[in-house]
């Protein structure tokens, strides 16, 4: 097959790819210089929509409504935008081999793509229960949500099983958002996870108690401290039940599994330096190979604010790291420099009529403030994390835009905390006065 050559190639078609493309256009990329190679069949889109409005029975989100860069208030980049900019959008193309020495990517069909500069934006893949040999884990109607095709299949299952029963395996982002979305669709939902509370990587026991109480009040059955060890199926091969380690068996028409992901770095093993499960980069997202950059979920980068090295799986970092890499590439070509990446960790979620934001680092002592009663009409509450006498992280449920900005400022500034009792008493006012 004919070889195709580009000055720049972005490998991956997710959020990072779309934001990188926008920055390339801003920097004046010439027609024909840039290609995006994606195994998905659609132009880059805002992936968080898949676990939220894409599944709603009303006010449903559909493409082209959530192509990047609408997630951050930017222009929607439709497929025509890429054409107008002379950017090659190479879709439904899976790269099977990457040879960084010869600067060549080879597709599963044998097509070769040459580049001068590569941005790795391959993101993460879901961890599947079949990877661990869980019995019956390949039954029909067991779903993993990562791409739009997955969401489409889940939508069809919801339509085909009205008032059915669903089991959500996992208590993290996917578990919480999908439980809410399925419940809104009148599905009977049980949520199963092994940890003592939901979202344990971020939530304290106090924060989690609110959400577990709120979800229970919405009719969601929460089962903690056990895991799925097997699945039953009918003669059509469709899942019928979930067998738990504690001996319980839950009826299920639909199962959604959200037990984490892993960065897609396999193509580059042995060719670039790695650290903490990702591809090691500098503050400009350049890897140990000078012509190769890595952004988003796959990058392990210097976290300037905390003087350490981290890998961050979140849409906000995917957007910002992509823009930083492209700015750095153009600055390098022009003999200029850009500021080092100075990222403030940011996570958020929306489910039911809830909406929380978190900024900073969740280490040290904590105080909870506000009204965290799950039956409250207002349910506005928050938490501060305090380390070495300074507030290093802040969480807020149901904050206004101004209040969310205030907790972001606190996490960035890391002001002295005073006593924990005083901080708990002052609550949100501590952030807003800053």
Distances in Å between the Cα of 57 and the Cα atoms of 32, 182, 342 are 42, 9, 40
Q: 209: Cβ–Cβ under 8 A, 6 or more apart, which residues?
A: 197, 372, 374
Residues of the chain with CATH 3.50.50.60: 4-125+262-333, 129-259
* Residue 139 burial (CB count, 10 A): 20
CATH 3.30.390.30 domain residues, the chain? 353-432
The pLDDT, as a whole number, for residue 2 is 73
Rg of the Cα atoms in the chain = 23
Residues 6 or more apart from 46 whose CB is under 8 A from it? 15, 66, 67, 68, 70, 71, 315
CB 393 within 8 A of CB 384: yes
32: left (phi over 0), alpha (psi -120 to 50) or beta: left
Domain 4-125+262-333 homologous superfamily, CATH = FAD/NAD(P)-binding domain (3.50.50.60)
- The answer as to CATH 1.20.1250.20 being correct for domain 353-432 is no
Q: Which residues make Cβ contacts (< 8 Å) with residue 353, sequence separation at least 6? A: none
pLDDT at 104: 98
The pLDDT of residue 1:
65
Q: Give the pLDDT of residue 197.
A: 98
Among 297, 293, 273, which Cα is nearest to 283's? Answer: 293
d(CA 189, CA 258) in angstroms, rounded, equals 14
Give the bridge partners for 366, in sequence order. 385
In 223-346, alpha helices (H)? 315-333
HSE at residue 363, side-chain half, CA atoms within 13 A, is: 10
Helix axes 315-333 and 15-27, enclosed angle (nearest 10): 30
Length of the chain: 434
Each of the 434 residues of the chain gets a pLDDT tens digit; together they read 679 999 999 999 999 999 999 999 999 999 999 999 999 999 999 999 999 999 999 999 999 999 999 999 999 999 999 999 999 999 999 999 999 999 999 999 999 999 999 999 999 999 999 998 999 999 999 999 999 999 999 999 999 999 999 999 999 999 999 999 999 999 999 999 999 999 999 999 999 999 999 999 999 999 999 999 999 999 999 999 999 999 999 999 999 999 999 999 999 999 999 999 999 999 999 999 999 999 999 999 999 999 999 999 999 999 999 999 999 999 999 999 999 999 999 999 999 999 999 999 999 999 999 999 999 988 899 999 999 999 999 999 999 999 999 999 999 999 999 899 999 999 999 999 98
Q: Which CATH architecture has domain 129-259?
A: 3-Layer(bba) Sandwich (3.50)
How far apart are alpha carbons 181 and 53 in whole angstroms?
Answer: 8
Q: What is the C-alpha separation between 317 and 306, in angstroms, rounded?
A: 16
**Strands 95-99 and 104-107, sheet pairing:** antiparallel
382 is written with which tokens?
Answer: 């928050």
């Amino acid at each position: 097959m004919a070889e195709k050559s580009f000055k720049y190639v972005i490998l991956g078609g997710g959020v990072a790819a779309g934001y990188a493309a926008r920055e390339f256009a801003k920097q004046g990329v010439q027609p024909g210089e840039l290609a995006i190679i994606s195994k998905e069949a659609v132009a880059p889109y805002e992936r968080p929509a898949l676990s939220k409005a894409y599944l709603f029975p009303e006010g449903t989100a559909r493409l082209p409504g959530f192509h990047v860069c609408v997630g951050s208030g930017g222009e929607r980049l439709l497929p025509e935008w890429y054409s107008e900019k002379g950017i090659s959008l190479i879709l439904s193309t899976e790269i099977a081999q990457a040879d960084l020495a010869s600067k060549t990517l080879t597709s599963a069909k044998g097509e070769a793509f040459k580049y001068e500069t590569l941005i790795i934006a391959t993101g993460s893949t879901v961890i599947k229960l079949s990877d661990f040999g869980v019995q019956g884990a390949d039954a029909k109607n067991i779903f993993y949500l990562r791409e739009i095709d997955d969401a489409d299949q889940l939508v069809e299952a919801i339509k085909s099983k009205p008032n059915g029963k669903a089991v959500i395996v996992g208590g993290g982002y996917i578990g919480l958002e999908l439980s809410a979305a399925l419940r809104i669709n009148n599905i009977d939902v049980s949520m199963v996870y092994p940890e003592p509370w939901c979202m344990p990587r971020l939530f304290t026991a106090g924060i989690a108690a609110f959400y577990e109480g709120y979800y229970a009040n919405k009719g969601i059955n929460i089962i903690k401290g056990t895991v799925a060890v097997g699945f039953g199926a009918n003669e059509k091969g469709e899942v019928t039940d979930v067998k738990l380690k504690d001996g319980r068996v839950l009826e299920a028409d639909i199962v959604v599994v959200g037990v984490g992901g892993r960065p897609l770095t396999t193509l580059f093993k042995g060719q670039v330096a790695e650290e903490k499960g990702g591809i090691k980069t500098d503050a400009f997202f350049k890897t140990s190979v000078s012509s190769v950059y890595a952004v988003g979920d796959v990058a392990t980068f210097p976290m300037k604010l905390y003087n350490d090295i981290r890998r961050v799986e979140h849409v906000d970092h995917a957007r910002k790291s992509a823009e930083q890499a492209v700015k750095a590439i153009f600055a390098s070509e022009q003999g200029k420099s850009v500021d080092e990446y100075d990222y403030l960790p940011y996570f958020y979620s929306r489910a039911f009529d809830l909406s929380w934001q978190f900024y900073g680092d969740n280490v040290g002592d904590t105080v909870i403030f506000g009204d965290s009663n799950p039956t409250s009409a207002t349910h506005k509450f928050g938490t501060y994390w305090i380390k070495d006498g300074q507030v290093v992280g802040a969480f807020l449920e149901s904050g206004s835009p101004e209040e969310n900005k205030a907790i972001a400022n606190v996490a960035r500034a890391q002001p002295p905390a005073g006593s924990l009792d005083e901080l708990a008493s002052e609550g949100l006012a501590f952030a807003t006065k800053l």
